[in-house]
Amino acid sequence: MSTAIKKRPFIHPEGWKFATIFFVISIIISMLWLPLAAIGFLLTLFTLWFFRDPERHTPEDPNLVISSADGKVCLIDEACPPEELLIENEKMKRICVFMNVFNVHINRSPVLGKAERIVYKEGQFLNASLDKASDKNERSSLVIKSDHGPRIVVVQIAGLIARRILSFISLNQLLSQGERFGLIRFGSRVDIYMPLNAITQCKVGDKVIAGESILASLK
């Protein structure tokens, strides 16, 4: 069984701000040299497309961990969650999804549960596909106490181009499975941590869709 997440405008409000800037610049440039203005108009259209926020149909199952990001599974391993979360230093299963600039960048909750902790940490802007990006890059970590019992950690990681991580939620907010919780601008990565005994249902190289693709099942 699946449900469509509450309908919203196809373009996220963040997109209109950037598109307006590019459009105004394009108008000004067109007064100086028309051919160059075409580049500005193309950037305006690309910006609107980049910030698209399509509807998704999320499986309703508390035993499933749904992808938080559109993109490609770039790493599956065992690792400790970010130290700033002050979680016991125990390894968890980690599934990492890399987003390029052509992917939808709205991030969604992998499970139904409560936002127990939200921690932002400044950092570098290395290539987000690198393993060390999890430790070195700017990031925002979200701990979700799932209704099913275990805690799930979702880490938004900035990349080479991404310089701004946005959160749409507040502490102790109840999140639906597949609900939008944040956004990373212009290319990035999302790491999802879960119990070690979670059964992986994807593999490295798989293309996944936020709010729809199943990454793992919880025992």
CA 5 – CA 2 distance, rounded (Å)? 10
170, exposed or middle or buried, with CB in 10 Å at 0-12, 13-18, 19+?
Answer: exposed
Residue 188 designated active-site:
yes
167, burial (CB in 10 Å: exposed 0-12, middle 13-18, buried 19+): middle
E strands within the chain? 2-4, 57-59, 64-66, 71-79, 92-99, 106-108, 113-121, 139-146, 151-158, 165-167, 174-175, 180-184, 188-194, 199-200, 207-208, 214-217
| Cβ atoms within 10 Å of 75's Cβ, excluding its own | 17
Among 129, 134, 141, 188, the one annotated catalytic = 188
- Which residues are catalytically annotated? 188
